Structure formats: C-alpha cells, structure tokens
Chains A and B, each alone.
Chain A
Amino acid sequence: MSNIITSKDLCLWYGDNQALKNITVDIPEKSITALIGPSGCGKSTFLKTLNRMNDLIPIVRIEGEVCYENKNIYDKDIDINELRREVGMVFQKPNPFPMSIYDNVAYGPRTHGITNKAKLDEIVEKALRDAAIWDEVKDRLRKSALGLSGGQQQRLCIARALAVEPKVVLMDEPTSALDPISTSRIEDLIMQLKEKYTIIIVTHNMQQAVRISDYTAFFLLGDLIEFGETDKMFSNPKDKRTEDYITGRFG
C-alpha cells in the first residue's frame, strides 16, 4: 500500500507558540488513521495542516513539508481550492449550510463547475447513499438541512464532503457532539468508506480509535510520540508515554 500523505519535519506556530514540532509521518492510502492525544496536543492542528485549513488563521506560520500524492501542498503553485476538493473535511460540530438538503450536497459539485441538473441529481443521490442517509432524507431533499437531527446533520456533512469525490477525508472529532447511537452509525459508515477513501480522524475516544482505525498516531504537546498499526500500538506500545496515555494514567 502506498502513502498518500506524508509530512516531513512539519513545524507550526500560532504566533510565538509552537503547536507542532517536527512531525514526520507517512499515511497509507485507503486506510483509517486515528490521531489521538490529550487536549491541546496538536492533533487537530495537524489535521488542519493537511488541507491547509490553517490558512484561515492569520497568525499561523508553518515550516517543513506536507506532501499529498508526492507534491508539497505548501508550494506556491498549489491550487488550494483543488487541494481541498481532493482532501475534504468533516468538522467537529455538524455544520450544514442554512439551505435545503439537496443544495447542501450539491454545493461542492456546483463550486467545481457542475451545473447539469441530471448530473447533479445523480451525484447528490450517490453521496447521500454513500453516507448512509439517503433513505432518511430522500422524501425531503428540498427541506432545510437545519431540520435534521444532530446525527443526521453530521452524516449529511459527510455526504457533502463525499459529493466532490475527494480521495482523503479529514474528520475532526466527528462524533464528539453526538449521542451513542448516532456515533455508532457514523463509525460503521467510516469503516465502509475506507474502501474508497483514505480517512484521517481525530478522536478523543480511545475505544473509538481501537474500534475503527488501522493506524494510530499519538500526539503529546506538539510532538508525534508514536505512529503505527493500531492493534500493535494498543497491545504493545513502544513508548512509555503512549502506554501511560492509553492505559488512562493521564489525559
């Protein structure tokens, strides 16, 4: 399996405060990688460097490189909009736009120039099916997305991200605002998605990391402490700090 995203000596500062220190990691494609670690360890920050969402914060400074399909995404000639189409994102809090369900899913394809009605219909249905929410919303596509429950909204946001046919989907604690039943539906969904997509997911929940991920990266105070196959890391951590964290001694 080849690596779709690789970072090399990636450092990031918020003003004077260094949030990531020399992160070097290779993420294999069509797998689920979990980023774990205590609050403020840099896992969400790292996730956001992968599709340059940190660009939205003016005080951020970055050194080192992040390569997506062997191309450094911090090069000057990179088309950020195209990068974000291929490396999509699902956020912690479901954030559907205040539009109809259909328009939410069609937003991305329309952004990238698809206007044909039949084509859009097809994309929307496929994305909603892939996100396992089609049956619940197929009769109310023209209704506001804000009328859905939290779990439905989050699956809608996943559908919205899938509609632009990304290769990588970044998920920033996608279930932390949801109830247990919605959480387990989304976990099932994520496990199905890895057949077609590379998933990188930030999670606070160690059981979740064990349940769904193939690889785990453990962050602590801006350092990447350990990266490896999830089963191995949780049964036989190499680093003492990893062991302390996953056995619940701090965090």
Chain B
Amino acid sequence: MNKRKIYIGIMKGAMYFCTSLTALLVLFLFGYVLIKGIPNITWELLSTKPSYLAGRIGILPDILNTIYIVIATLIVVLPLGVGAAVYLNEYALNKKVVELIEYAAETLSGIPSIIYGLVGMLLFSNNFGTSILAGALTLVIMNLPTVMRTTQESLKTVPQSYREGAFGLGAGKWRVIRTVVLPGCLDGVITGCILSIGRIIGESAALLFTAGFAHAINDFFTGLTSPGATLTVALYVYAKEEGEFAVAFAIAAILMILTLLINLSTTMVGKYFAKRRNI
C-alpha cells in the first residue's frame, strides 16, 4: 500500500517536472527574444533601408520583400491547391490514385526545406534569376500540400445532403461545387491560407538559395524580378555575417509576434466558422 503511494508520488512528480520544464523553455525563449528584441525596434529601423554611408540599418526592404513573397506565393498556391483538392474530392473516381496523391502530398510536406531550396534554385533561379519570384515559386511547391490537404479535409465535412439537394434541383456539377460545396469549405481554405502565410514568413533555408540577399526598396513588380531578402533571411545575414545582434533580435521579436498573431487568427477563424455552422 505504502509502496504504491510512493510510486504514484514519484511518477506524479516526474510528470510535473516534465510539464514545467517544457512550459519554462517556451516562456524563456519567448521572453528572452522579446526582451532582447523589443528595445531595438525603432521607427528608424522599420522605416529605412540600410546605408553604409549613414552607418544605418533599416529593415523596410525586408518587410516589403516578405509581404511581396507572401502575396506572390498565395496568388499561385491558392488556386492550384484548392483546384487540386476539389478535383480529388469531387471528381476523381479512382480511389487508389487519390490515395497515392494524398500520400505524396504528406511526404512532400515532410521534406526538409533546404531540399526545396536546392531544387528551386535549379528550376527557378536559373530561369528567372535569383529573385523574389523564384523564391515565391519555390514556396508554392512547399505550401501546395498544406493548402491542398486542409481544403480537402474541409471538403469532406461538407454534408453530402447539400450536394444531393443541389443535384436534385437540376444543378450541374460545377454549379454545385461553386455555389454549395466551396462556400461550405471556406474555413478550410482560409486555414490553409493562414498556415501557409506562417510558413512563408518563417522560411529561410529555401530562400537563401533562391531569393537572394538584397536590401533595396522596390515596388511589387520590380520586387518580384529582383533579388531580395525576407525578414528571416535578413535575420540570418545580420546575425551571422555582420554580427549585428541588436538588429537580429529586433527582427526575431517581430517574427515571434507575427507568428503569435497568425496562430491566434487560425484559432479565431476556426471558432468563427464553428459558430456560423450551428446557428
């Protein structure tokens, strides 16, 4: 009896220890980056480009590049991913092929991103030059499985009775998909979209090969065809090659806050649609 109590006590203690260690690590990392980073975020840093003459570092070009690459990637990946998901879920009859593609997509999302970078460099940078566009296309391949899978999972939750109801009224297949099925899976598309934004913002390895390191302020279309560093790449460059740890931590803090916001918005989208479904 006593022995068992001691045993239970020890196991409980061990689990408390594991849990608190995990929680502490996360909190420590978060706190450390924020405390070291936030004081270094200045208006000058956010609103200028770097200049050796003025001895100044600004990350505005990197912020713009990040926004450009997010937009460019989404413009390509959303139609492709949603289209593929609709085909697999609504049209494809051969279940074996569907399973094969799903399996391939799962595998694709587990490949280290540096390999995407290598392939992207050979496929895109060699053709379009080292540029935001080449980086975005590389990220398209990386994020395609995510968008496709989340859309597909969401398509599966659209009740079959909606489709039957629409077919029963004489609607053609495409009309059923456009008016009943796609609106019903909007939450999945948006979730996939947000997850992709998170991955794009956080990606560095694949972009080191493909998008380059330049810090010039460009408009969207010039930006696409020019090399440019995103925030994560800039973080790497400032920390590793220039020893500017203050700037690196400032960028890190910004990225951390962005990630937090993205996670929050994913949860909120989920809640919003769950609510809308059971009025």
Contacts and interface: CB of A to CB of B under 8 A. Distances in A.
Interface of A: 51, 53, 56, 58, 80-85, 88-89, 91, 93, 95-98, 107-108, 111-112, 144, 146-147, 157, 160-161, 164
Interface stretch (B80-88, B171-179, B220-228, B238-246): B171-179
Interface residues of B, number: 21
A89 B161 CA distance: 12
Contact of B161 (A82, A91, A111): A91
B168 A112 contact: no
B166 interface: yes
B54 interface: no
13 contacts: A81-B170, A84-B168, A85-B169, A91-B164, A91-B168, A95-B164, A96-B165, A97-B162, A97-B165, A107-B171, A144-B279, A157-B165, A161-B168
B169 A98 contact: no
A108 B179 contact: no
B170 A108 contact: yes
Contacts of A95: 159, 161-162, 164-165
Nearest to B169: A108
A147 B277 CA distance: 11
Contacts of A91: 161, 164-165, 168
Nearest to B176: A111
Contacts of B165: 91, 95-97, 157, 160
Contacts, number: 66
A97 B180 contact: yes
Nearest to A110: B179
Nearest to A56: B167
Given A58-B93, A111-B175, A144-B279, A97 B166 contact: yes
B145 interface: no
B184 interface: yes
Contacts of B183: 98
Nearest to A55: B167
Question: 7 tightest A-B contacts by CB?
Answer: A85-B170, A95-B161, A89-B168, A84-B170, A108-B169, A81-B170, A95-B165
Nearest to A86: B170
A111 to B, nearest CB: 5
Contacts of B175: 111
Contacts of B159: 95
Given A85-B170, A164-B169, 13 more contacts: A53-B167, A56-B167, A58-B93, A84-B168, A89-B164, A91-B168, A95-B165, A97-B162, A97-B165, A108-B170, A111-B166, A147-B279, A161-B169
Given A56-B164, A91-B164, A95-B165, A112 B279 contact: no
A98 B166 contact: no
Nearest to B276: A98
Contacts of B166: 97, 107, 111
Nearest to A108: B169
A58 B180 CA distance: 21
A98 B277 contact: yes
A200 to B, nearest CB: 14
